[in-house]
Amino acid sequence: MEDAIISSAKIRIPFVFDNGFRNDALLKMGFKPPECRSTGTTIAGLIYDDGIVIGADSRATSGNIIGDKYCMKLHELAKNIYMCGSGTAADLDQLAHLLSANMELLKLTTERKPRGVAAVRIARQHLFKHMGYIGAYVIIAGIDFTGPFLYSVHAHGSSIKDNYLADGSGSLAAYGVLETNFRLNMTLDEALDLLKRALIAGMAADVNSGNTYTFAILKKTSVEIYTRNVPDFCEPIPKMLAYRYPPKTTKVLKQIKYDIISSTKMME
């Protein structure tokens, strides 16, 4: 363990592993070291006959705590490239900033729209270099001169290209809907309905996914984004009563009188 920490410091990996020594000390003292907190997300995307639809839920969790009900998990990398992310929210935001900056530099250098494979390659190299310590699992989608593309990039640097993809803690339920109903050359209405059903299935099956969902329609000439779509089971339940009571509603059952001794008498 010490050799691994020293070697990581030599190659300047921007992570500090000092807590490893702390956890070893806690174990020797008989204490249980702190555990990693789980996160949860449902993201999905699919290709239809004229473009791509992608979407994500909006719940950000830390263990059993909902940290944010309206977390934006859909990021714009370029005018023609978008990314949905699952994992650690801070890591995803920083990865989105990194990819967005590189796409802008590539656009200025080549004087043309950046390709999707460029964003995927930069994401793969960045995540592989950090050996999975960056908690980012993303779906990168868009349209370039080769047509629509859809990639999934994992935290260790691997990637998958397919006609439909899902990721996150609710991805199993989402994949069930996608695998059952997806077909090639779907219309926009059919693809949008399938995406919504996949996201809602993931949100219903996974307690760490929920609240609302955001989706984007990517076409050759335009992008449409729709936010804060609330499924029926995530609608807030209205209060039945106001729960306001007039003064003196509670009956006094007993009063206790205390003998108060002033400080001057105690000093005498």
Task: Write down all domains in the chain, each with its CATH number in brackets.
Answer: 1-35 (no CATH), 43-231 (3.60.20.10)
Minimal CA–CA distance to 58: which of 40, 37, 46, 76?
A: 40
Active site residues: 41
What integer is the mean pLDDT of 214-220? 97
State yes or no: pLDDT of 7 exceeds 70: no
pLDDT score, position 6: 44
Structure token digits, residue 122: 């930069």
pLDDT score, position 263: 63
Query: pLDDT tens digits, residue range 163-216?
Result: 999 999 999 999 999 999 999 999 999 999 999 999 999 999 999 999 999 999
β-partners of residue 86 are 137
Rounded CA gap, 232 and 228, in Å? Answer: 13
pTM given for the model: 0.82
What integer is the mean pLDDT of 222-248? 87
Query: pLDDT tens digits, residue range 81-123?
Result: 999 999 999 999 999 999 999 999 999 999 999 999 999 999 9
